[in-house]
Structure 1
Amino acid sequence: MKLVTFFTEGQETLGVKLEQGILSLADIARISNSVDLASTRIDEFIRDDLTKRVQGLIEQYQSELSSHLISDENVQYAPCVPRPGKIICIGLNYRQHAIETNAPIPTIPIVFSKFSDTVAAHHEQIPLPRKSTQVDYEAELGVVIGRRTVDVSKENALDHVFGYCNVNDLSARDLQMRTHQWLLGKTCEKFAPAGPYLVTADEVRNPNDLEIKAFVNGEKRQDSNTSDMIFHVDEIVSYLSQYMVLEPGDLILTGTPQGVILGYPEDQRVWLKAGDSVTIEIEKLGSLTNTFYDSI
C-alpha cells in the first residue's frame, strides 16, 4: 500500500495512492461507515498497523469509492511522515560513496541525526541556508519503524519495519565539515524532504535490492542499488535497537550512493543554487522532487 499525506483546506489528510489516483481515508471511512478511521493520521495508522483493514475496505467498496478518486496533479503533498519521533542517519554506508570521498570503509555504522522538524514534502521549495555556499543532495532510502523495537536480532529486524520512502538527505558541506560532529550541516530548514509516498514493507519486500537514483535539473547524478550498502537495512535496524529504543514512526536514513557533489574533484564541484531541481527515485517508491531558492 502507498500512503500519502496531503492538505485539504489547510488540514492534513491521509490517503491511499492507487493507480487511478488517490483515495482519502476520510472518504473510505464515510462510505464504509468506519467512523473511527475518519480523522486517522499517518502516525496512528502506523501505530495501529491499519494496512490490512483499510485494504479490505477499499476492495469491498471499490465501486462506491471510484468516483472519489483525486488526481495526483490536484494534491498538495505533506511529508509522507510529517512528525517522525526521531530521524536517525547512517553515514558513508555505500561502498562506492566511501571510495569516491576517499574515506575508509566503515567497520561499524556511522550514526548521526537530523532534527525531526527538517522534514519537507514532495514539490516543496527548499531554502538555501544563508550561512552556506556548499549545499549537496543525497538520495537515500528512508526506513519507517512500525513498532517499538528494542535489541532486535538481524533475522527479525525487518518485521519491525512499517515501510519505506524516498528521502533527500540534504547537506551543507561547509557547515558539516566545520567539526567532527556533522549536525550543523544536516539540520538546516527543510533539509530532509521525504515522500511522496510511504510504501508499506509488503510491497517493497527486499529493501536491499532497489535501484536508487538522483537527478539534478534532469541530469542523472546518482545511479546505484541499495545492494551496495555496507550495512543493510536489517543490520542497521538491529544495530540501532541495541543502543536506543526505536518507536513507531521513527525515520532511519540509510546512506547515499556515489555521485554526490562532494565526490567530484574540487574544481568540478558546482553546488546547488537557486532554481535548481533535484529528483530522487527509488525503485517501487515513486519520485521525490524539490526546487531550491535563496533564503532572505
Structure 2
Amino acid sequence: MRLIGYLVGGTRHIGAVDGDKVTPLGTVADFYRNPDAARRAERGGELLALGDLEQVPPVPETSRIFCVGINYHSHADESKSVAGLDLPKFPMIFGRWESTLVVDGTEVPVPPTEKGLDWEVELAAVIGETVWAAQEETALQHVLGYTAFNDLSARRKQIETPQFTLGKNADRSGPIGPAIVTTDELPDPSGLRVQTRVNGETVQDGNTRDLIHSVGKIIAYITDTVTLRPGDVIATGTPGGVGVGMNPQRFLTAGDVVEVEVEKIGVLRNPIVSREQLRS
C-alpha cells in the first residue's frame, strides 16, 4: 500500500494510492490512532482523483522527526574533513520540527544568510505503533512503512555551533514522500539505492547497505529513552556526495531543481527559490 496525505476543508487526511486514484482512509489523526486497523477496514464510497488533491505530509502535525547524522560510511570521511566529526559509536540523533515538512513540488527558499542549501537524500521510516524499549532484532515490526526524505541543510547555521537545530530546521526544508510504502510491500529497508540529482546531474548515489547503524538499531537506541508514537519519522542519514564536501563546495540556489530518489519508493522533486520569490 502507498499512502499519501491531502487536505479536505483544512484538515489533513490520508489515502491509499493506486495509479491515479486514491482510496480515502480517513483523517490523519484517526488513521494514526490505529494504523493497522485503519488499513484493514473495508472501504466504500467514491475514489478520488490524485491530480485533484492538495497533498500534504502523510503524518500527524504532532509527529516528531528523528534524524540520524553521519550514518553512511561513505559520508563519514567528508564529515570528518568538513566539520571534524568522527565516526559515531552510537546513532547521532537530532530533531526536526514537523512544520518544516513539505511534499513533492513544493518550492523551498534559501535563507538569506546562506550561500545556498545542501542536499541529503535519506530513507525514512514511519512508525506504526507506540514503541518503548524495542529490541534491535525485532524493531522493524514497529514500522508502518518507508518513504524518501531530503534533509535540506543550511550549512552555515549548522556548522557555526555544535548544535544542529537551526541549520536543520530552515523553513520548508524537509521534503518527504512521494508516498509511504507500507511494510507489506517493502518489508526490508536494506539494499535500497538512494540518489540525488541537481538539475538532472547525479550528485549522490548510495545504498542503504552502507548504513553504519541499521534501522532496527536506531529504533532500539531511541526507545530506551524516548517512547516512539505512531506517525513519528526516523530519517536514517545520507550517503557521501553532499555539496559541502565538494571541492569547490556547491550549494542549491534559486533556479535549481533538486530530486531525491529511493528505490521502490519514488522521486521527490523540489524547486529552489530565493526568499523574495517564495509564494505563500
Does TM-score exceed 0.5, indicating one fold? Answer: yes
| Aligned counterparts of 1:114 and 1:125: Cα–Cα separation in 2 | 19
Q: Is the 8 A contact 2:14 2:58 kept in 1?
A: no
Amino acid across the alignment from 1:106: P
> How far 1:52 sits from its partner (Å)?
4.4
- Answer with 97-106 or 236-245: which moved more: 97-106
How far is the alpha carbon of 1:222 from its aligned partner?
Answer: 0.9
Where does structure 1 differ by over 6 angstroms across 4 or more consecutive aligned residues? none
Partner of 1:280: 260
Other-structure match for 2:31: 45
Greater helix percent: which structure?
Answer: 1
Measured in 2, the distance between the counterparts of 1:168 and 1:82 equals 18
Q: Is the 8 A contact 1:276 1:291 kept in 2?
A: yes
- Structure 2 counterpart SS, 1:238: helix
Look up the match of 2:142: 160
What is the distance in 1 between the residues matched to 2:94 and 2:137?
24
Aligned runs of 1:216-231 on 2, under 5 Å? Answer: 216-231=198-213
- Say if 1:143 and 1:251, in contact at 8 Å, map to a contact too: yes
Aligned residue in 1 for 2:273: 293
Percent identity between the two aligned chains: 36
Quote the residue 2:16 is aligned against: 16
How many angstroms apart in 2 are the aligned matches of 1:193 and 1:52?
24
How far 1:167 moved relative to its partner? 0.6
Please give the secondary structure, in 2, of the residue aligned with 1:259. Answer: coil
Partners in 1 of 2:244 and 2:250 — Cα distance?
Answer: 9
1:141 corresponds to 2:123: yes
State the SS of the aligned residue for 2:124: strand
What is residue 3 of structure 1 aligned with on the other side?
A: 3
Deviation of 1:241 (Å): 0.4
Q: Which runs of 5+ in 2 are unaligned?
A: none
Cα distance in 2 for residues equivalent to 1:13 and 1:42: 5
Give the aligned partner of residue 116 of structure 1: 98
* Structure 2 residue 171 is matched with structure 1 residue 189: yes
Aligned length: 271
Aligned to 1:95, which of 53, 66, 73? Answer: 73
The 8 Å contact of residues 121 and 260 in structure 2, kept in 1 or not, is answered as yes
- Structure 1: which 5+ runs fail to align? 26-36
TM-score by length of 2: 0.90
Give the residue type in structure 1 aligned to 2:20.
Answer: G
- Does the aligned pair in 2 maintain the 1:196–1:288 contact within 8 Å? yes
Q: Which of the pair has more CA radius of gyration?
A: 1
Q: Calculate the TM-score normalised by the size of structure 1.
A: 0.85
**Aligned: 1:83 with 2:83:** no
